[in-house]
A and B are shown apart, each in its own frame.
Chain A
């Protein structure tokens, strides 16, 4: 029993990720029957990138919901979804990416797969980290708002052409359980499957490539990182500038210089690595 508790303590973040993913995708009946949950809890946005067409999903994806409202001809701005994003961002910042996002969990698990050489970043990292902001602006906001069909409705461009979380957690389970849906697949599914496979392979060798370079939800929360209620601070009197925090950080952040970097997912590796406990979790 003591060993189990010790193991949980050493892997607390992984445990929280698994439990939260299980709770927010707890409609297990949906996986068995190939149906999605249709209850009223789906009015509420969950904090992570969790496709609402996942058979187990009990809440709504904030990015999918944002596109749905923007694409609707009755609205040009979503107070409701933006309110949720501000709520989650102002409290947690990118803590959500590190602890509560199901697709972040999947990437963390993939990175644990042994590979002959692990890297933190893709080549061109410094430029690529801006890509997620471009994807947010273009695919999540501009295209659903302005590219309209004959009746004035837009499309969820990010969900339709990019989102690997939707392909993995919604597309594959639903297609596996529904023959008519399988027959309706075409080039679009193949394209999304290709994106998913590439990201899965990259996630084995590189740490969280989707979070670093593509995720529009991470782009939103990154803006809140420096000002969220949950943030880090450095005790400059204790810090000896040894560089161990920077080495430990898989998001490649110089933590002692920029503890609230927009790229920080609050995994806590830097805190555990600091020999003088100079990095604090909560405000002081």
Chain B
């Protein structure tokens, strides 16, 4: 009987190794955590104010006026 585990690698009925969700996706999960850290650092550095200021004023460069 095959059991699905989040954290542990399991053996399938055919004897091959089936990797856990965490093992198969460790890179993307690490990047996910990194993204939250980066967004938090960006908020702390007040980058959001720069983004907001740019986005609530008509971007003359974007519309082709320069």
Binding site for B on A (CB under 8 A): 36-40, 42-43, 45, 51-53, 57, 60-61, 64-65, 68-69, 72, 74-75, 78-84, 86-87, 89-91, 155-156, 159-160, 163, 166-167, 170-171, 174-175, 181, 184-186, 188-189, 191-193, 224, 227-229, 283
Contact = CB atoms under 8 A, between A and B. Distances in A.
Given A90-B32, A91-B28, A186-B66, 8 more contacts: A52-B55, A69-B51, A80-B45, A80-B51, A83-B37, A87-B36, A91-B32, A159-B62
Contacts of A65: 51, 54-55
Contact of B63 (A39, A155, A171): A171
* A-side interface mostly: helix
B17 interface: no
A83 B36 contact: yes
A229 B32 CA distance: 10
A283 B21 contact: yes
Contacts of B58: 36, 53, 174, 181
Interface in B14-50: 21, 24-25, 27-29, 31-32, 34-43, 45, 47-48, 50
Contacts of B59: 51-53, 64, 156, 159, 166, 170
A156 B47 contact: no
User: Which bracket fits the contact residues of B?
Assistant: 35 or more
A85 to B, nearest CB: 8
Contacts of B55: 42-43, 52-53, 57, 60-61, 64-65, 68
B65 A188 contact: yes
Contacts of A40: 52
Contact of B51 (A51, A60, A283): A60
A174 B57 CA distance: 12
B42 A78 contact: yes
Contacts of B24: 283
B35 A86 contact: yes
B1 interface: no
A43 B20 CA distance: 37
A69 B47 contact: yes
A184 B43 CA distance: 35
Given A160-B66, A171-B63, A181-B65, A90 B35 contact: yes
Nearest to B31: A90
Contacts of A75: 45, 47, 50
A45 B62 CA distance: 16
Q: Which 9 A-B pairs have the closest CB atoms?
A: A80-B42, A83-B38, A189-B64, A83-B39, A87-B35, A90-B31, A160-B61, A52-B55, A171-B63
